[in-house]
Amino acid sequence: MSRASVVARRAEELLGTPVVATSPVAGGDIARATKLRLNDGSVALMKTLPHPPAGFFRAEARGLAWLGEAGLPVPELLAAADDCVILRWIEPGKPTGEGADALGRALAAAHQRPCDGFGLEADGFIATLPLPNRTAPTWPEFYATRRLLPYLRLAHDRGALDDAQARTIEAVVPRLDSLLPAEPPARLHGDLWNGNVLWGSDGSAWVIDPAAYCGHREMDLAMLSLFGLPQLERLLDAYDEVHPLGDGWEERIALHQLFPLLVHAALFGAGYGARAATLAARYVPRPT
């Protein structure tokens, strides 16, 4: 039986609707994506992964529901199981200023939804890596112990950071209390880089593939800035109108980019580790 037949049969089991056609979708870094044309005329996207970590797709489904509840534009979740998720298909289009405005406003509103502390009751995933979410009383403590240090160790163990680079990044940790302003925890997408913003054919913008938790709102904004989101300035201006940003937030972008860069280093190699060390050096006093 071909892979397409297996995917179609599994989708039919979960949706209760015949699948009349399937086609692979390019672009995913982690999961395999398949476009499904259903017998009722609708179109869906099915994401699968050979031997996914336990709870991988369930965590994605929870994150989408949690963010959608907060008003972020997420694709409709049609089905979720241990081996896949199925989402309503979003026909791709081009970035628009109006879509960026709407996403900026929605993100600002979502960040104002109440959160019970920094973290989340359940751990999750970022890409295929475990994402520890055990709560902490402050953002500096959470950022140090649940985000920076675990992935610093992992990237170093995998050879993506040398000893000197690891020491530079580690030296930032004792300074986090003075570098990061106190703000209430925000409901975060958690992996909001350019590739996880989907521009629809109607000009709207959607968010996908969350690694959701409660954290400092500047995390999502720093990740949007990391790899160059189209229409970013429009998005940030709209965000700031709804939920004004704190003084000096732009100087903290690189600080909050250390986490995603360490994740990329652990997954994709030393180039990202070097970039993380270079950014970290901005926040570490030079020896006199």
DSSP string, 18-60: -EEEEEEE---SSSEEEEEEETTS-EEEEEE-SSPPTTHHHHH
In the predicted structure, residue 159 carries a pLDDT above the cut 80: yes
pLDDT, average across residues 266-281: 97
Best CA proximity match to 189, nearest among 251, 124, 102, 96: 124
In the predicted structure, residue 4 carries a pLDDT above the cut 80: no
Instruction: Give the predicted TM-score (pTM) of the model.
Output: 0.94
Tens-digit pLDDT profile for residues 66-92: 999 999 999 999 999 999 999 999 999
Q: How far apart are CA 189 and CA 38, in angstroms?
A: 29
Q: How far apart are CA 263 and CA 282, in angstroms?
A: 20
Give the pLDDT confidence score for residue 1 in this predicted structure: 45
Tokens describing residue 261: 């860069």
Tens-digit pLDDT profile for residues 24-45: 998 767 889 999 999 999 999 9
Can you name the CATH fold of 97-283? Answer: Aminoglycoside 3'-phosphotransferase; Chain: A, domain 2 (3.90.1200)
More confident residue, 285 or 224: 224
CB 129 within 8 A of CB 190: no
Hey, where are the domains in the chain?
3-88, 97-283
In the predicted structure, residue 256 carries a pLDDT above the cut 70: yes
Give the pLDDT confidence score for residue 286 in this predicted structure: 79
Q: Looking at the annotation, which residues are catalytic?
A: 191
In the predicted structure, residue 288 carries a pLDDT above the cut 80: no
Homologous superfamily, domain 3-88: Phosphorylase Kinase; domain 1 (3.30.200.20)
Give the pLDDT confidence score for residue 31 in this predicted structure: 87
